[in-house]
Structure 1
Amino acid sequence: MSGHGAPEANKNQLAKAGKLGLKVAIIASSWHTQVMDGLIDGAQRAAKDAGLRADLIRVPGSFELPVAASRLAPHYDAIVALGVVIRGGTPHFDFVCHGATNGLMDVAVQTGKPVGFGLLTCDTEAQAIDRAGLEGSAEDKGYEATAAALETAVVLKSTLAGK
């Protein structure tokens, strides 16, 4: 299981995110409704646990996540990118996964804003469902991606506050 060894969300850091009033955007693709509903629910729950309300922005697919993140990053303290790509019989999977992953990393590095990586890249729909935070799922990647982005935003704000 890919979640083996993953840290628990730091509830103290999430509480700090709320106290700082951080602005967070959740950008979610529209493919695979069941999986996306679970990811979005988890992301919104993490924001709520931090005492924040996240803005939800929908895009057509995972390939569109980086451009939306790039345009929105200047207006938010943290971005969460949610999507799912399921392997098919063509190289399309590799192109979309690499493009979206590299694009999201570029956004984070170029803007200095944390981008929570909630892009599931799975071989099967069953694997995606198992990571979507749905009832019976083993993992909740929407929650994890949001918690990671918010915790990183708190670390950056706290570290840079005295500089």
Structure 2
Amino acid sequence: MNTTTQHEAHAIAQPAGSRPRLAFVQACWHRDIVDQCRTAFLQAIQTHGYAAGDIDFHEVPGAYELPLHAKRLAGSGRYAGIVAAGLVVDGGIYRHDFVARAVIDGLMHVQLETGTPVFSAVLTPHHFHGGDEHVDFFREHFLVKGAEVAHACAQTVARLAALPAAVA
């Protein structure tokens, strides 16, 4: 099924430098897993008319640092959309609950405060362990999430750009 909108097709026709810029912010905890999201995002966003040079990549130590970094990037006015990727695991201690909630709520606040859409590819699995079965599952799952977040980002950026100025 082809879901490319007229606005996304316009993004393809735009010359480099005039396409909207995007930012991808990645937490480095469990980097071997989260890197899969970045790889899939970059591949999928190019099917929506973006070039690799239209995306700036940033890294932060962990998921807890994602909202502040996203807010600074949104405040710069350079980006039409920001993607945040990370993995917050339940290691059997209470910390998982408040970190996951703070990260997701923080990302939502950033987009509502700045008007720049922020997309979450932050996964928060319960009962994660570092065994091969879980690592392999989440590496594959981040490939899916990377493609999904690229699609959501491209569509949202295009649709927001198409809104009449009176609505914005």
Give the structure-2-normalised TM-score.
0.80
2:38 maps to: 40
Please tell me whether Structure 1 or Structure 2 has the larger radius of gyration of its CA atoms: 2
The CA RMSD measured in Å over matched residues stands at 2.1
In the alignment, structure 2 segments of 5+ residues that lack a partner are none
Name the counterpart of 2:22.
24
SS at match of 1:11: coil
Q: Indicate if the aligned counterparts of 1:83 and 1:119 stay in contact, CA closer than 8 A.
A: yes
Whether the 8 Å contact between 2:67 and 2:103 is mirrored in structure 1 is yes
Tell me the equivalent position of 1:143.
147
Which residue of 144, 153, 159 corresponds with 2:157?
Answer: 153
Contact 1:24–1:77 (Cα < 8 Å) also in 2: yes
Q: TM-score, normalised by structure 1?
A: 0.82
Letter aligned with residue 149 of structure 2: A
Identity of aligned residues (%): 31
Is residue 2:109 matched to residue 1:76?
Answer: no
Deviation, structure 1 residue 92: 1.0
Aligned residues: 150
Q: 2:119 aligns with which of 106, 113, 116?
A: 116
C-alpha separation between the residues in 2 aligned to 1:63 and 1:34? 18
Give 5+ residue unaligned stretches, structure 1: 1-7, 134-139
**Aligned partners of 2:8 and 2:56: how far apart in 1?**
17
